Amino acid sequence: MEKFFMIKGGYIITMDSKMNVYKDYTLVISGNTIVDILSNDTAESKYANVEVFTAKDKVILPGLINTHLHTNLIRGFGDDSALYQWHKEVAEAVRRTITPEETYLGALVGYAEAIKSGTTTVLALEKNSEKCYQAAQETGIRARLTPYILDFEDCADTIELNLAYVKKTASPEERVRFWFGFDSFREASPEMIREIVALAKKYETGLHTHSNESVDDVLLCRKRYHKDPIIHLYELGVLSERTVLAHCVHLTKEEKTLMQQTKTKIAHCPTSNIKLSDGAAPIVEYLFQDICVGLGTDGANTKGNYDLFEEMKFAVLLQRIVQKRADALTAPEILKMATIGGAEVLGLSKEIGSLEKGKKADICIMYLRKLHCLPFDPEEGSILISHLVFSANGADVDTVIINGKIVMTNRILQTIDEQKLLFDANEAGKHLIARLKLKGMNFK
Ligand SMILES: [Zn+2]
């Protein structure tokens, strides 16, 4: 007999095509799927003797989707460095030194933190991706993992390993699946990129990398290959509707046209771009050109945390500065980018990104009866959307459900021992810092 489970709201912010917000409504789940959305009264009569999760005073929305991140064991170094200096003095040093076990702890921390701030799906570009796979499985997060492949130096992840994990996670029903990818054109030879592109095409997976992150990136590509980065990637076959490029801060008109024509997706990471002084990606322009844009946090080293609520607010504020218009980007538009828009970027919009019948039960439940979210019971649902973007933060997330399973309730993770992780990761992080001889001061 089919077993049901009901979440009795509260407000339900569906993020469906009509942006419907329902008050006093119930979500009905069977297995990992949403099977019904109906008023509380109707649900009570239609579904008798069903397990009920009470969310009467809460706001229920689709789990957020982070379209670009790296997990890290340590943070707080190179705070005042631009991208290339930070990359050389922190990222590369960590990459050469960190052990698989330390990577595993860092991945547990990153995925757990994402869940605790309402994220249910991540697209992650990771080193030691086997260990990250293990961490994603254990935390319960939905993930698309891309190894950090580069051939300018020895690397823990190889094309062979990437292929093995693509095959291992080939079933569409797998919650954690592998894509192909590489770090960036900076550390990947044209030959290797061509090989990766061919495999992604053969196995019909996504492809994930960084591009045009800073002006230095553009200048390096022009110096090395005598062309702009997007042109370089296009000629290598990288651009396609299955490809996600993180950043795309500085694009020429020709590069924008290529992105549009090839339907290549963009992961926008405003906080990391601001912190590294990369510049501001013109995402309002991209959206106007029908380029699909999702929101990402990038690594905690360059953003500080994995809170997509914070990222939504930064994204809106940044576009308002760039465009000098108060309506350049609105709260509903950015919430869309963090939910159904992110699902489109990952090619998963039929499965996740909104709360609708037939979609996977990936759900974020917020408790907003707090001073910073008044009024918490408005007549108009749009006020709640404003709260989510401008007033709330990841710590307001109360419960998270992924693939029909409760992975956090009352802010307590159900899949892993958070206190043990806190201790183990802190100790391991201190050992890593000691080996790296990193100092928490400016590099000036
Ligand atoms: Zn990145």
Alpha helix ranges (H) inside 180-281: 190-202, 215-225, 229-235, 253-262, 270-275
Burial (CB < 10 A; 0-12, 13-18, 19+), residue 33, is middle
Mean pLDDT computed over 353-381: 95
pLDDT of residue 443: 46
Provide the whole-model pTM.
0.97
Instruction: Tell me the CA–centroid distance for residue 68 and ligand 1, in Å.
Output: 6
Is the Cβ–Cβ distance between 184 and 224 less than 8 Å? no
Instruction: Tell me the CA–centroid distance for residue 208 and ligand 1, in Å.
Output: 10
Report whether pLDDT(404) > 90: yes
Ramachandran region of residue 219, left (φ > 0), alpha (ψ -120 to 50) or beta?
Answer: alpha
Is beta strand 33-39 parallel, antiparallel or unpaired with respect to 176-178?
unpaired
Q: Nearest-CA neighbor of 121 among 316, 339, 289, 319?
A: 339
Mean pLDDT computed over 308-320: 98
Instruction: Tell me the CA–centroid distance for residue 273 and ligand 1, in Å.
Output: 10
Amino acid at position 212, single letter: N
Q: pLDDT category, 137, cuts 50, 70, 90?
A: very high
Q: Which 3 state secondary structure label does DSSP give 180? A: strand
What is the 8-class DSSP label of residue 326? T
Instruction: Tell me the CA–centroid distance for residue 203 and ligand 1, in Å.
Output: 24
Instruction: Tell me the CA–centroid distance for residue 65 and ligand 1, in Å.
Output: 15
CA dist 347 → 193, 242, 281, 285, 303 (Å): 22, 7, 22, 22, 25
Per-residue pLDDT tens digits for 258-306: 999 999 999 999 999 999 999 999 999 999 999 999 999 999 989 999 9
Euclidean distance between CA atoms 390 and 388, whole angstroms? 6
Instruction: Tell me the CA–centroid distance for residue 344 and ligand 1, in Å.
Output: 19
**DSSP codes of every residue in 153-165:** S--S--HHHHHHH
Report whether pLDDT(154) > 70: no
Per-residue pLDDT tens digits for 423-444: 999 999 999 999 988 776 554 5
Instruction: Tell me the CA–centroid distance for residue 282 and ligand 1, in Å.
Output: 18
Q: What angle, rounded to 10 degrees, do the helices at 190-202 and 159-168 form?
A: 10
Report whether pLDDT(97) > 50: yes
Per-residue pLDDT tens digits for 41-80: 999 999 988 999 999 999 999 999 999 999 999 998 888 8
Per-residue pLDDT tens digits for 215-229: 999 999 999 999 999
pLDDT of residue 150: 78
Which segment of 35-39, 156-160, 296-300 scores lowest on mean pLDDT?
Answer: 156-160
Which segment of 349-353, 366-370, 377-381, 395-399 scores lowest on mean pLDDT?
Answer: 377-381
Instruction: Tell me the CA–centroid distance for residue 188 and ligand 1, in Å.
Output: 15
Euclidean distance between CA atoms 407 and 139, whole angstroms? 8
pLDDT of residue 419: 98
Instruction: Tell me the CA–centroid distance for residue 183 and ligand 1, in Å.
Output: 8
The rounded mean pLDDT for the chain is: 95
Q: pLDDT category, 151, cuts 50, 70, 90?
A: confident
Instruction: Tell me the CA–centroid distance for residue 176 and ligand 1, in Å.
Output: 19
Mean pLDDT computed over 363-384: 94
Instruction: Tell me the CA–centroid distance for residue 130 and ligand 1, in Å.
Output: 18
Sheet strands side by side (includes 293-295): 180-181, 207-211, 243-247, 265-268, 293-295
pLDDT of residue 440: 66
Most confident of 126-135, 409-418, 434-443: 409-418
CA dist 98 → 11, 75, 151, 228 (Å): 44, 13, 18, 33
Instruction: Tell me the CA–centroid distance for residue 5 and ligand 1, in Å.
Output: 38
